[in-house]
């Protein structure tokens, strides 16, 4: 199935950093041609997909912004799992069709799950990127509402949970990504920072631990706890849990935390928070 694109300023060599002229960038042509090979793939089994392994393209003519570029791919060779496609791109800017690029793309059919398993760990824990912060806020609210029945409108707490962009200036926001999907988050706040509710000097507090409900009981919070431990540089960890939040209490007790009733607090009348700590070491 041929695909057509209109070259925009986002597709130029300048925009992609592949040159300094405002014409269609070679990497963009290659991406469009590879997309054409995805369309031209023969039917695969439900657990299969294909991945690009070799690209051999000549970029022959410059397409200006505004030009329409038509791409096409044809399967010309198949050898077991290997698929080879002939690809072309052409534009017409008023003087008839011009061949913009041509060549071959090779793809290999793979089984999706084993392929992804080989690529790397399923779960990546790292600091959130700036453009992920709003989604972190939504994930927190979703988890807290589903987790212990926090009402969204409850004393503005949902606003606190969504206030991630500001919090990122004073704390470390970690995310758990499973195959690229945001499934969990936790926030690390050193003692003395405004976001720290209960940390005493020498303690590291973590807050807003949240896992997407569809991913509960799959070890995501456990992995986030391990990341918090790694980053706490041997200091005592501390957190607060709202009374009655059994999953969270269960999580921390399972990870060597103990409840310290003497430090329990009630920041808002009726909202009783239990403090859990785990000494360094």
Ligand X SMILES: CC(C)(COP(=O)(O)OP(=O)(O)OC[C@H]1O[C@@H](n2cnc3c(N)ncnc32)[C@H](O)[C@@H]1OP(=O)(O)O)[C@@H](O)C(=O)NCCC(=O)NCCS
Q: Report the interface residues with ligand X, using CB under 6 A.
A: 143-144, 147-148, 209-211, 216-222, 239, 241, 245-248, 250-251, 254
Distances (CA, A) of 65 to 11, 24, 68, 171, 242: 8, 7, 9, 43, 57
Q: Which pair of tokens denotes residue 213?
A: 């409900």
| CA pair distance 272, 117, nearest whole angstrom | 43
Structural contact between residues 275 and 198, judged by C-beta atoms closer than 8 angstroms: yes
Structural contact between residues 187 and 147, judged by C-beta atoms closer than 8 angstroms: no
When the beta carbons of 83 and 239 are compared against ligand X, the nearer one is: 239
Q: How many CB atoms lie within 10 A of CB 257?
A: 20
Rounded to the nearest whole angstrom, what is the least distance from the CB of residue 244 to ligand X in the complex?
10
When the beta carbons of 66 and 244 are compared against ligand X, the nearer one is: 244
Rounded to the nearest whole angstrom, what is the least distance from the CB of residue 134 to ligand X in the complex?
18
When the beta carbons of 73 and 241 are compared against ligand X, the nearer one is: 241
Rounded to the nearest whole angstrom, what is the least distance from the CB of residue 11 to ligand X in the complex?
41
Q: How many CB atoms lie within 10 A of CB 279?
A: 12
When the beta carbons of 85 and 206 are compared against ligand X, the nearer one is: 206
Rg (alpha carbons) of the chain, rounded to whole number: 26
Rounded to the nearest whole angstrom, what is the least distance from the CB of residue 236 to ligand X in the complex?
17
Rounded to the nearest whole angstrom, what is the least distance from the CB of residue 143 to ligand X in the complex?
4
Rounded to the nearest whole angstrom, what is the least distance from the CB of residue 273 to ligand X in the complex?
9
| CA pair distance 65, 202, nearest whole angstrom | 58
When the beta carbons of 62 and 160 are compared against ligand X, the nearer one is: 160
| CA pair distance 230, 226, nearest whole angstrom | 6
- In three-state secondary structure terms, 85 is strand
Rounded to the nearest whole angstrom, what is the least distance from the CB of residue 174 to ligand X in the complex?
13
When the beta carbons of 64 and 250 are compared against ligand X, the nearer one is: 250
When the beta carbons of 149 and 279 are compared against ligand X, the nearer one is: 149
Q: Which pair of tokens denotes residue 244?
A: 């009655």
When the beta carbons of 30 and 251 are compared against ligand X, the nearer one is: 251
Rounded to the nearest whole angstrom, what is the least distance from the CB of residue 150 to ligand X in the complex?
8
The percent helix, strand, coil of the chain (3-state, each to 5) is 30, 40, 30
DSSP designation for 256: T
Distances (CA, A) of 12 to 17, 63, 71, 105, 219: 8, 9, 17, 22, 44
Structural contact between residues 228 and 188, judged by C-beta atoms closer than 8 angstroms: yes
| CA pair distance 128, 223, nearest whole angstrom | 15
């Amino acid at each position: 199935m041929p695909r057509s694109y209109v070259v925009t300023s986002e597709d130029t060599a300048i925009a992609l950093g592949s040159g300094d002229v405002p014409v269609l960038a070679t990497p963009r042509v290659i991406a469009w041609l590879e997309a054409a090979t995805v369309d031209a793939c023969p039917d695969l089994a439900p657990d299969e997909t294909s991945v690009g392994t070799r690209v051999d393209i000549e970029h022959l003519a410059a397409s200006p912004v505004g030009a329409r570029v038509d791409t096409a791919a044809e399967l010309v060779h198949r050898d077991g799992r290997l698929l080879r496609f002939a690809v072309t791109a052409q534009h017409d800017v008023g003087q008839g069709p011009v061949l913009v690029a041509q060549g071959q793309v090779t793809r290999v059919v793979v089984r999706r799950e084993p392929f992804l398993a080989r690529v790397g760990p399923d779960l990546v824990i790292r600091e959130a990127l700036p453009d992920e912060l709003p989604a972190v806020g939504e994930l927190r609210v979703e988890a807290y509402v589903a987790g212990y029945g926090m009402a969204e409108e409850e004393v503005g707490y949902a606003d606190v949970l969504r206030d991630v962009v500001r919090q990122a200036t004073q704390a470390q926001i970690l995310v758990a990504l499973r195959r690229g999907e945001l499934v969990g988050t936790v926030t690390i706040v050193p003692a003395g920072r405004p976001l720290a509710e209960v940390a005493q000097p020498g303690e590291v507090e973590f807050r807003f631990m949240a896992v997407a409900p569809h991913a509960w009981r799959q070890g995501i919070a456990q992995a986030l706890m391990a990341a918090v431990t790694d980053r706490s540089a041997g200091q005592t960890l501390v957190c607060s849990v709202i009374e009655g939040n059994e999953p969270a209490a269960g999580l921390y007790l399972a990870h060597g935390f103990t409840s310290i009733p003497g430090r329990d607090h009630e920041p808002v009348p009726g909202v009783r928070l239990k403090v859990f700590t785990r000494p360094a070491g």
